[in-house]
């Protein structure tokens, strides 16, 4: 009898949190082209209007962080070429999360460049199976992407080096099991900036945090990730969505301020305070709905 009651409760919770579909994430700004530009030092923006993609250029080749939804390959490739660089010269491909909107073009650029695909531990399996093993999107084929062979499985603290550039990989899970953040120092205009590419701490619709969690330990992962991101004090943070860090406004201010327009410690603090508030609100809601 107890297992029957437990099953009914689980069904009830599932009914309250329907799994996401492609329509859940439809956003024209994810595919709308954005004119590429240099942010600071060797870091360039080559993404769409809202999906951020970063090209870090070096004399020895380039590093690409993230990608876009399937179908935007030509747009992203054009952005790289517009800046005077060749996507064929990409030597390392990194991701901050293994979701279709950020790795949907990974297979294209990996095949074009023959670069080393380096994925944080926890997301390597998802990248290799095209999203089928994702804890939230796995059951939705419309949210899958072309599988990609992973060349290197990154671990916490691994250092990625190329052509005089170094990035440190941080494992910051929750949004996906292997969400990753990257830190680096950049010299520009006689100043040195600490730059952070933070992983997302957003909780997607349908994620279960408390009762029958989407994966064991997910709430603890989210909280630890937020604690870690809160403790960091980057000069410049470059998120995965342009709307998350006012890319348009900062770009406009570059005309008079240069790279300083992207120095935004208050914006960084505010963003993660909002993420924490949203997380704890969902926990409270789940607990209140539990029998």
pLDDT of residue 25: 72
The CA radius of gyration of the chain, in Å to the nearest whole number, is 19
* 98 membership: H or E segment, kind and range: none
Look up the pTM and report it: 0.92
Q: Contact 55/38 with Cβ under 8 angstroms?
A: no
What is the distance between the alpha carbons of residues 133 and 28, in angstroms, rounded to a whole number? Answer: 27
Residue holding tokens 């360039």?
A: 44
- Rounded to the nearest 10 degrees, the angle between the axes of helix 106-113 and helix 73-82 is 50
DSSP assignment, residue 212? S
Q: Where are the domains of the chain?
A: 25-289
CATH superfamily of the 25-289 domain = Ribonuclease Z/Hydroxyacylglutathione hydrolase-like (3.60.15.10)
In terms of Cβ atoms closer than 10 Å to its own Cβ (0-12, 13-18, 19+), residue 19 is: middle
* Whole-number Å distance between alpha carbons of 72 and 50: 12
- Would you write out the chain's pLDDT as a tens digit for each of its 291 residues? 333 333 333 434 443 456 667 666 778 999 999 999 999 999 999 999 999 999 999 999 999 999 999 999 999 999 999 999 999 999 999 999 999 999 999 999 999 999 999 999 999 999 999 999 999 999 999 999 999 999 999 999 999 999 999 999 999 999 999 999 999 999 999 999 999 999 999 999 999 999 999 999 999 999 999 999 999 999 999 999 999 999 999 999 999 999 999 999 999 999 999 999 999 999 999 999 867
pLDDT (0 to 100) of residue 117: 98
* Coil, strand or helix at 132: coil
Residue 180 — left, alpha, or beta (φ > 0 → left; ψ -120 to 50 → alpha)? Answer: beta
List, in sequence order, the alpha helices (H) in the chain: 2-16, 73-82, 100-103, 106-113, 124-128, 218-231, 247-257, 265-289
């Amino acid at each position: 009898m107890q297992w029957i009651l437990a099953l009914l409760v689980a069904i009830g919770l599932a009914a309250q949190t329907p799994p996401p579909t492609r329509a859940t994430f439809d956003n024209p700004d994810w595919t709308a082209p954005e004119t590429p530009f240099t942010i600071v030092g060797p870091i360039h923006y080559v993404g769409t209007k809202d999906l951020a993609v970063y090209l870090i250029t070096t004399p020895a080749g380039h590093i690409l962080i993230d990608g876009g939804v399937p179908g935007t390959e030509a747009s992203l490739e054009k952005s790289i070429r517009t800046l005077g660089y060749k996507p064929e010269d990409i030597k390392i491909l990194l991701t901050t999360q293994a979701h279709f909107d950020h790795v949907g073009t990974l297979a294209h650029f990996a095949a074009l460049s023959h670069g080393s695909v380096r994925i944080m531990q926890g997301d390597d399996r998802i990248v290799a199976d095209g999203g089928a093993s994702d804890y939230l999107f796995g059951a939705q084929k419309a949210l899958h992407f072309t599988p990609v062979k992973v060349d290197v499985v990154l671990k916490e603290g691994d250092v990625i080096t190329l052509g005089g550039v170094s990035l440190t990989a941080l494992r910051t899970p929750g949004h996906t099991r292997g969400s990753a953040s990257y830190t680096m120092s950049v010299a520009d205009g006689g100043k040195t900036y600490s730059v952070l590419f933070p992983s997302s701490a957003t909780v997607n619709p349908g994620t279960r945090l408390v009762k029958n969690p989407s994966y064991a330990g997910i709430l603890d992962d989210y909280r630890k990730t937020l604690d870690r991101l809160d403790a960091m004090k980057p000069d410049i943070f470059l998120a995965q969505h342009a709307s998350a860090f006012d890319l348009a406004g900062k770009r406009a201010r570059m005309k008079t301020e240069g790279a300083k327009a992207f120095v935004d410690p208050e914006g960084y603090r505010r963003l993660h305070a909002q993420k924490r508030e949203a997380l704890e609100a969902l926990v409270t809601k789940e607990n209140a709905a539990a029998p």
